[in-house]
């Protein structure tokens, strides 16, 4: 008869195979970092002086580099950002909060190539320090 430790070890191994699945086929490797580097490698910097409520950066035109419009806030304070599709409207499509010193954050998804847009920034902290942002599109 098997010892309780051997039975517990066999049961643990069997349960982990049920939960995790069998390693019959490895998933194909995808190089996502390469596509991110290409998208963010074309980022454009915008800079706004202090003593303002915010402002509009652009207009820009979407490209094949990125599927989305991404913005990174390099400032010392958080800011609201929104995309305006300038050929269709002068209003924000939706607002996205960008925390201070953020990574790239998607502010509009699945935008067709060749679409003209601006990014509008709004904040109250803007009056004390400059706003620096990067746009990848």
Q: What is the pTM of this model?
A: 0.66
Structural domain includes residue 15: no
Structural domain includes residue 120: yes
Residue 20 confidence (pLDDT): 37
Structural domain includes residue 73: yes
Structural domain includes residue 101: yes
Which ranges constitute the DSSP H helices of the chain? Answer: 4-20, 32-41
Question: How many separate domains does the chain show?
Answer: 1
Instruction: Find the mean pLDDT for residues 45-68.
Output: 85
Expressed as residue numbers, the domain containing 90 is 39-136
Structural domain includes residue 28: no
CATH number at residue 45: 2.60.120.510
Taking only the tens place, the pLDDT of each residue in 76-107 is 888 999 999 999 999 998 899 999 999 999 99
Structural domain includes residue 94: yes
Residue 54 confidence (pLDDT): 76
| Beta-ladder partners of 119 | 57, 83
d(CA 50, CA 124): 11
Structural domain includes residue 80: yes
| Beta-ladder partners of 70 | 106, 136
Structural domain includes residue 112: yes
- Range in 17-21, 32-36, 132-136 with the lowest mean pLDDT: 17-21
């Amino acid at each position: 008869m098997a010892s309780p430790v051997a039975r517990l070890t066999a049961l643990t191994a069997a349960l982990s195979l049920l939960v995790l699945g069998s390693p019959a086929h490895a998933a194909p490797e995808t190089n996502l970092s390469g596509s991110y580097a290409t998208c963010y490698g074309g980022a454009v910097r915008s800079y706004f002086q202090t003593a303002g409520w915010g402002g509009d950066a652009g207009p820009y035109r979407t490209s094949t580099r990125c599927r989305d419009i991404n913005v990174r806030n390099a400032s010392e304070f958080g800011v609201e950002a929104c995309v305006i599709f300038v050929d269709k409207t002068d209003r924000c499509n939706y607002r996205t909060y960008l925390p201070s010193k953020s990574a790239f954050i998607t502010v509009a998804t699945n935008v067709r190539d060749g679409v003209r847009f601006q990014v509008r920034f709004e904040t109250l902290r803007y009056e004390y320090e400059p706003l620096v942002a990067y746009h990848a599109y």
